[in-house]
Chains A and B, each alone.
Chain A
């Protein structure tokens, strides 16, 4: 017994237990399912493809309850999945938006001493996601969309979709609390 525990202590400290890995996989599956569900919803009235960002629920959830590395992992996996299914540019914009969104939400969480509300985190995450995507399009010089015409649209859709995803996350929390893994943490 002591030998087994001794062996276990020699395992690399990756920070990922099997349980955490499974929960991450479930969250990633949830993000993909929500992304697919978005495709059957009516499109947002915008001159460029804008999405509802429902898969951001999984990222927010990972950030709140699993930590920053897990949230980044979900964002990166989402980007890779978007590259495979929607092409390189869509994947890169998803990746840049996701990474900036997680960073922004984490900074806000830290700066407010973890007292920030769900709605503000959701709105800041969605707006920064949109801005991150736009920033990548500018950096790659992919398409010179006029910033003054695009910014109001990004802000407005970010606010609406951020409030929506944070409300859905808040509503889903009691159900997700039944998961044993989270019962100790929520």
Chain B
């Protein structure tokens, strides 16, 4: 009802000119249906990605220039800072709660750092200026967690 009221209000803002442009309205009831379907589609895709969250082992994959440079097991109880020679401008932080995050970056906007800590399967964050992608994947098997370049 409220949304319908907003649509009516926006539609009333149009003038009474006889031209074709003025006949264009802000939103029709069918438009609400289209927008709702699009939102539902986005939600279904999002939830579908979240289905794999019950994986036995969670790993963080780090890509630099589209090359996989590290796979890190997100085991709890480990806290460390990670840096790699392929992307020296970036420092990652693995927390003892089994999360991982961008901690330092040379990019201007720091969106990668603001993405926060990742811990769910299919969570991801990217630093576009440095071409670095960090994503969490699930696996039923255990993996080796040999970590290069432990800097702190």
Interfacial residues, chain A to chain B (CB-CB below 8 A): 43, 46-49, 64-65, 87, 89, 114-120, 123, 127, 141-146, 148-149, 151-152, 155-156, 159, 163, 166-167, 170-171, 173-174, 177, 185-186
B41 touches A120 (CB 8 A): no
Checking A49, A65, A167 against B109 with a beta-carbon cut-off of 8 angstroms, the contacting residue is: A49
Name 13 A/B residue pairs within 8 A (Cβ), A-sorted: A43-B114, A64-B24, A115-B24, A116-B24, A117-B24, A119-B31, A119-B35, A120-B27, A151-B42, A155-B39, A156-B42, A167-B10, A167-B26
Cα distance A158–B50 in the bound complex, in angstroms: 21
Q: B115 — which chain A residues lie within 8 A by C-beta?
A: 46-47
Report whether B125 and A47 are in contact in the complex, using a CB–CB cutoff of 8 Å.
yes
**Is the CB–CB distance between A171 and B135 below 8 Å?**
no
Could you say which residues of chain B place their CB within 8 Å of the CB of A163? 35
> Does B88 sit at the interface, judged by CB under 8 A?
no
For the complex, is B46 an interface residue (Cβ under 8 Å from A)?
A: yes
Give a binary string over B29-61; 1 marks a CB under 8 Å from any A CB, 0 the rest: 001001100110111011011000000000000
**Would B66 and A118 count as touching, CB distance under 8 A?**
no
Contacts of B122 in A (CB 8 A): 146, 148-149
| Residues of chain A with a CB closer than 8 A to B125's CB | 47-48
What class of interface size applies to chain B in its complex with A? 35 or more
Which residues of chain B have a CB within 8 Å of any CB of chain A? 10, 13-15, 17, 19-28, 31, 34-35, 38-39, 41-43, 45-46, 48-49, 63, 66, 109, 111-112, 114-115, 122, 124-126, 128-129, 131, 133, 135
**Interface-central residue, A114, A119, A186, by most chain B CB under 10 Å:** A119
Known A-B contacts A119-B26, A143-B128; the reply to A159 vs B38 at CB < 8 A is yes
* In the A-B complex, the 3 residue pairs with the closest CB atoms: A155-B42, A152-B46, A47-B125
- With A141-B66, A186-B19 known as contacts, the answer to whether A170 contacts B111 (CB < 8 A) is no
Contact B19 A148 (CB under 8 A): no
A152 touches B43 (CB 8 A): yes
In the complex, the answer to whether B133 meets A144 with C-beta atoms within 8 Å is yes
Let me know if A156 and B39 touch, CB within 8 A.
Answer: yes
The one of A116, A123, A146 in contact with B124, judged by C-beta atoms closer than 8 angstroms, is: A146
CB distance from B67 to the nearest CB of A (A): 10
